[in-house]
Amino acid sequence: MAKSPIVLGYYADWAENLSPEAIDYRLLTHLSHSFATLNEKGTLKLPDASRTKTLTALAKRAKVKTILAFGGAESGKAFAAATATDAAVTTFASQIAQILGDLGYDGADIDWEVPSNPEEKGRMEALVKTLRQKAPKAILTAATPASDWSGKWYATEKLAPYLDFINVMTYDFHGPWGNHAGHNAPLTPTSQDREDGQFSVTSAMDYWLKSKKWPANQLCLGIPSYGRGFAAKLGAPTRGEYSRSYVSYQEVLMLTRDSEWIARRDAEAQVPYLEKKDGKEFVSYEDPESARRKGAFARKLGLSGIFFWEVAQDFDGRTHPIVRAAREGWG
């Protein structure tokens, strides 16, 4: 019998369509509340107090572990400032530990996006080590990049002893920052993406397991509940921003009911996509079938589990179809 997986859902504090009461806790083992944000002066802003109280109480009743995620997108400079000296590291770690105890969370997720030089690499290592000392019984995790571009600033031997597991962000392989249309989270590489088609969930797992030698039983594979859109065909050059560059799974389902869009599946990448009939728009996304494949893939690799960004984008009024399918894929 396969070991039961970690099934972690990130829950955005700003989600308007999903209250803590409506989350389907039955599908989850862990819930990561996002985010406790910090500015470059080191000041923390916590999630809504009322949501926190409700979330932690309902999760505890369902035997789901709650984690408070610190940081988030573009948090690199703030983390660097908050850990600028050894004294600052100690103060910051003590503050996090105090917050966990006061608010009833079971752990902390260090979502430092991202360390970008040797000094910041060392500061993150010091923060994680000190936090483990300050909160020895807490669940400690980190959200990590999917390639060596930023992954080179994460030293396995310095971090793995203090972290329970890491959440590898195996998505956003393509987006509005690039110069061509591509899949958001392809399971495997595709020949249609000639420029950087080697980037995929498979390549990310190879990187962390083989190059970084990160323990498989301390590694979770990320599955997105959203897609990326482009004003171009798959693999074609793009120009500037596109109004549909970030598309939740709920929005994707609305597009599939629009006769102007055609639903297709990329046999190489093993993910679905939508294409406008006029050929001028393309949306790569996740659906239950592709999530099920990724759940099975994670189990085959012997990983600790799977996680999702984020559960409010994958909610049909009753449950979370992508989370459910990935868990079924695990078996």
9 DSSP β-pair partners: 31, 308
**Structural domain contains residue 276:** no
Whether residue 310 contacts residue 69, with contact meaning beta carbons closer than 8 Å, is answered with no
Point out the residues of the chain with pLDDT beneath 50: 1
β 247-248/282-284 pair status: unpaired
Residue 248 lies in a domain: no
User: If we measure between CA atoms, which residue out of 177, 129, 181, 186 comes closest to residue 149?
Assistant: 177
- What is the C-alpha separation between 109 and 68, in angstroms, rounded? 6
Q: To the nearest 5 percent, what fractions of the chain are helix, strand and coil?
A: 35, 25, 40
Is 147 contained in some domain?
yes
236 located within any domain: no
> Helix 321-330 vs helix 288-300: angle between axes, to the nearest 10 degrees?
30
Q: What is the pLDDT of residue 1?
A: 43
- Of the candidates 292, 191, 178, 271, the one whose C-alpha atom is nearest the C-alpha of residue 227 is 271
Is 262 within a domain? no
Query: Structural domain tally of the chain?
Result: 1
The answer to whether the beta carbons of residues 331 and 299 sit under 8 Å apart is yes
In a domain, 233, yes or no: no
Which residues, in sequence order, are CB contacts of 269 under 8 Å at separation 6+?
A: 183, 186, 187, 188, 189, 190, 200
Dist. CA 264–CA 120, nearest whole Å: 43
Spatial distance between the Cα atoms of 109 and 64, rounded to a whole number of angstroms: 15
What pLDDT does residue 196 have?
59
> Would you state the structure tokens that stand for residue 82, as one six-digit string?
């908050």
The amino acid present at 12, given as its one-letter code, is A
Structure confidence at residue 191 (pLDDT): 82
Q: The tokens 């639903």 sit on which residue? A: 263
Q: For residue 216, is it within any domain?
A: yes
* Alpha helix positions (H), the chain: 49-61, 76-82, 86-103, 118-134, 148-151, 156-159, 201-206, 249-256, 288-300, 321-330
Burial of 35-51, coded b for 16+ CB within 10 Å and e otherwise, reads bbbbeeebebebbeeeb
CB atoms within 10 A of CB 151: 19
Residue type present at position 84: A
Q: Domain limits at 57?
A: 6-225+287-330
Residue 15 in domain: yes
Model-wide pTM > 0.85: yes
Q: What is the CATH number of the domain that holds 137?
A: 3.20.20.80
